[in-house]
Structure 1
């Protein structure tokens, strides 16, 4: 790519910039095999600049390019973080054009598949209020991607689960887990189950208070075996806590009673 930073850096003509960034995003794309990262890495400073362009198509393609570059191992995610794009990507989650939002959301979602420190960079940019907002988007695909992004955040550490809790996101996830289209319900279920796996006893009790047991039980009867497993894992984590509480208190597992009530 000897030409691309120069071409994209100085082109004042919008059509040329649009065509160049579209071509560039396609060069960053591809899984089998992915492009050699050393060859596409020099485009990162250019993409970082283009995130401040005024044209929605340019913004969208720049975000897609960053999403392709961050789709992979943590070293690639780190290179994208080091380019300084995270704060702007989070800001673009609130853009008025849905094609920009979808692309920025995929890039943010890929970054939070990294380790806890990488995920924290996105949280520190104020992503949770934006994701809260996107959970009630009119576009089902955006709601699904927001759930997927949150499922990778709730797979993080207890402080990160607490941040999701403090942002009042779990009640919406639980509602989506019971009422949304199936693809979205699946991602919401992952988000809840991940929180039950890594959460503190108090965090798990909070999820039960928000009525997560019923929607998890409902997923046990679907035809998708992977999601049945996910729902079972979540219920198992909750019932294990119920057992511990029972030993300390009344002797009955309150959560087992709630699960039984779901089955009449």
Structure 2
């Protein structure tokens, strides 16, 4: 006769849980079944971790917020490396996303940096996660952060926008309609930092790609001179993305194809 852990008294299950690390019972045990959920809800260590993840994140104390953000980063790293889908249930939900977006405006550098890092990784996850971000209004705030004086914030904001735009054509159009192109083109014109240029070129590519529907020509025709300018860049990643962007634009209309030819792209290609 086999003995299932689910049939054990809660007190004995607590003792078993005592030998597991926090990440395991947050990411692997939650939502296995209703009984295990009930046991976890009354388990002290789980309550402590949950309080850190929720209560501390919504605190007004900067140290508590930083502690919660550190925990989130740790759990996201574990979930990403193990491809554990429980993370979508445990630490990615509309309330958490809204709070992370709210603290993007923090004047505390580390709070802003960590919150943006978490949102960047959420946007690079499932479409379900990306939808949370879009519905919470993250796009406009990210566009504003492109103008940040901090290069790491600029780059991560652009990277997050690129992830969103690359998810589907509707989100691509949301990013374009939100006014992302002017600050993005400004970065491409003035930045000398290679990682930032690579990220911005990739974002530009995602704003030009897609066929269901194709991008509105009037929204992207202003990028043609910049694409031609970037063909002189020596970085292979930048050049690769720019060439792909040109290939997408060439398929949009004869007018934009003519504009691409007229700026002198062909000799550079």
TM-superposed deviation, 1:160: 0.8
Q: Which residue of 2 aligns with 1:66?
A: 72
Residue 170 (structure 1) aligned with residue 174 (structure 2) = no
Q: Which residue of 2 aligns with 1:122?
A: 133
Residue 203 (structure 1) aligned with residue 203 (structure 2) = no
Cα-to-partner distance string for 1:174-213 (whole Å, 9 max, x where unaligned): 22122223221211111110121226434344112xx222
Cα distance change, pair 47–258 in 1 and its aligned pair in 2 (3 A):
farther
Q: Aligned equivalents of 1:108 and 1:257: distance in 2?
A: 39
Structure 1 contact 214–262 (Cα < 8 Å) conserved: no
Gaps of 5+ in 2: 1-13, 15-20, 32-45
Q: Which residue of 1 aligns with 2:150?
A: 139
Q: Taking structure 1 as the reference length, what is the TM-score of the superposition?
A: 0.74
Q: Aligned equivalents of 2:26 and 2:154: distance in 1?
A: 32
Gaps of 5+ in 1: 3-23, 29-33
Structure 1 contact 66–107 (Cα < 8 Å) conserved: yes
Secondary structure of the 1:221 match is coil
Cα-to-partner distance string for 1:97-141 (whole Å, 9 max, x where unaligned): 121110000011111112323201111111122112211111111
Size of the aligned set, in residue pairs, is: 226
Q: Which residue of 2 aligns with 1:6?
A: none
Q: Which residue of 2 aligns with 1:193?
A: 205
Q: Which residue of 1 aligns with 2:260?
A: 256
Q: Aligned equivalents of 2:237 and 2:96: distance in 1?
A: 34
TM-superposed deviation, 1:44: 4.7
TM-superposed deviation, 1:155: 0.3
Secondary structure of the 1:121 match is helix
Residue 46 (structure 1) aligned with residue 56 (structure 2) = no
Structure 2 contact 52–67 (Cα < 8 Å) conserved: no
Q: Taking structure 2 as the reference length, what is the TM-score of the superposition?
A: 0.72
- CA root-mean-square deviation: 3.1
Residue 75 (structure 1) aligned with residue 85 (structure 2) = yes
Secondary structure of the 1:237 match is helix
TM-superposed deviation, 1:56: 1.8
Structure 1 contact 135–147 (Cα < 8 Å) conserved: yes
TM-superposed deviation, 1:46: 2.9
Q: Aligned equivalents of 1:167 and 1:94: distance in 2?
A: 18
TM-superposed deviation, 1:214: 2.7
Secondary structure of the 1:81 match is coil
Cα distance change, pair 50–226 in 1 and its aligned pair in 2 (3 A):
same
Residue 55 (structure 1) aligned with residue 61 (structure 2) = yes
Larger C-alpha radius of gyration, 1 or 2?
2
Structure 1 contact 61–103 (Cα < 8 Å) conserved: no
Secondary structure of the 2:187 match is helix
Q: Aligned equivalents of 1:83 and 1:162: distance in 2?
A: 22
Q: Which residue of 2 aligns with 1:236?
A: 247
Q: Which residue of 1 aligns with 2:227?
A: 216
